[in-house]
């Protein structure tokens, strides 16, 4: 009986001593360890946002805007007309009848290239992504004597399919599937023009050819760049994205 009573008294004293020690301030420079908490998994919207941001940054750092600025539009427009001298010759034929100062030299310059906010959509089965790349430029049709003749605002969307595939070494990575311009996404609008000219006829002729050649021309510049950006994404981001696509898990939230 004495031994049991002594044990109870000892435990009571130990409990009080422990409580007093916990109440004492810690020595200077000694931090109390924080309680461990399980790491929170990134939310689906975080993953989709990180992927979209990485793709946008990759396109910009990869020279997308420069490639738009250097589009060979003048050569394309000249070649469209064949033996008739191309659209440029046709335009000059109309314009010189009104303003004799215009010579046989006409330049088409791309300015103010823009990459607008990317759009990301996941397929219904969850196994692929569709990236919408909205682009904008301003076309300046110029002559050496008169200066700016026409100024057109151009908007165009490129749609890129992103897939998770397994290579010969068994590694799964992101690759570019179909990549093309979005049908009907090309928009051309007149920003400025020389008021004394038959502007509407010029705009109709110019936009008619641009509608045929510009989407494919831009597509050939943008799609290889998208493929290059996918190949150089952060490996952790690629792994997380591939894991979702392989298992068909939704991580792109529709808004």
What pLDDT does 167 receive?
Answer: 80
pLDDT (average), residues 110-123: 96
Residue 130: C-alpha distances to residues 118, 178, 228 (Å):
10, 9, 16
Domain region containing 210: 44-80+100-245
Domain total for the chain? 1
Residue 124 in tokens: 């219904």
| 7 domain-assigned | no
| 213 domain-assigned | yes
User: pLDDT at residue 112 above 80?
Assistant: yes
Q: Residues in the chain, how many?
A: 255
| 64 domain-assigned | yes
pLDDT (average), residues 118-147: 88
- What percent of the chain has a predicted confidence (pLDDT) above 70? 64
pLDDT in tens, 205-219: 777 878 888 999 999
- Here the CATH number for the domain that contains residue 58 is 3.15.10.10
Cβ contact 139:102 at 8 Å: no
State pTM to two decimals.
Answer: 0.73
Task: Compute the radius of gyration of the chain from its Cα atoms.
Answer: 32
| 128 domain-assigned | yes
**In whole angstroms, what is the distance from residue 238 CA to residue 108 CA?**
40
Between 133 and 27, name the one with better pLDDT: 133
Angle between helices 44-61 and 235-246 (to 10 degrees): 130
**In whole angstroms, what is the distance from residue 229 CA to residue 248 CA?**
23
| 10 domain-assigned | no
pLDDT in tens, 22-31: 444 444 444 3
| 209 domain-assigned | yes
| 120 domain-assigned | yes
Residue 220 CB: number of other CB atoms within 10 A? Answer: 12
């Amino acid at each position: 009986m004495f031994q049991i009573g002594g044990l109870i008294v000892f435990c009571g004293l130990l409990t009080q001593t422990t409580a007093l020690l916990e109440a004492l301030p810690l020595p200077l420079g000694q931090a109390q360890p924080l309680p461990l908490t399980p790491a929170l998994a990134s939310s689906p919207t975080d993953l989709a946002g990180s992927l979209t941001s990485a793709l946008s940054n990759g396109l910009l750092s990869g020279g997308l805007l420069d490639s738009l600025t250097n589009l060979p539009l003048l050569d394309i427009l000249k070649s469209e007309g064949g033996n008739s001298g191309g659209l440029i010759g046709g335009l000059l034929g109309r314009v010189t009848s009104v303003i004799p100062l215009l010579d046989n030299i006409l330049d088409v310059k791309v300015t103010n290239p823009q990459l607008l906010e990317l759009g990301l959509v996941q397929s219904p089965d969850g196994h692929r992504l569709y990236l919408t790349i909205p682009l904008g430029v301003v076309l300046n049709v110029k002559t050496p004597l008169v200066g700016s003749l026409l100024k057109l605002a151009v908007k165009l969307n490129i749609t890129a399919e992103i897939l998770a595939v397994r290579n010969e070494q068994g590694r799964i990575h992101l690759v570019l599937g179909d990549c093309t311009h979005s049908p009907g996404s090309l928009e051309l609008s007149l920003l400025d023009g020389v008021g004394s000219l038959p502007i509407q006829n010029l705009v109709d002729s110019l936009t008619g050819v641009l509608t045929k050649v510009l989407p494919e021309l831009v597509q050939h510049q943008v799609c290889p760049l998208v493929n290059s950006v996918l190949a150089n994404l952060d490996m952790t981001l690629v792994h997380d994205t591939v894991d979702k696509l392989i298992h068909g898990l939704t991580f792109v939230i529709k808004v």
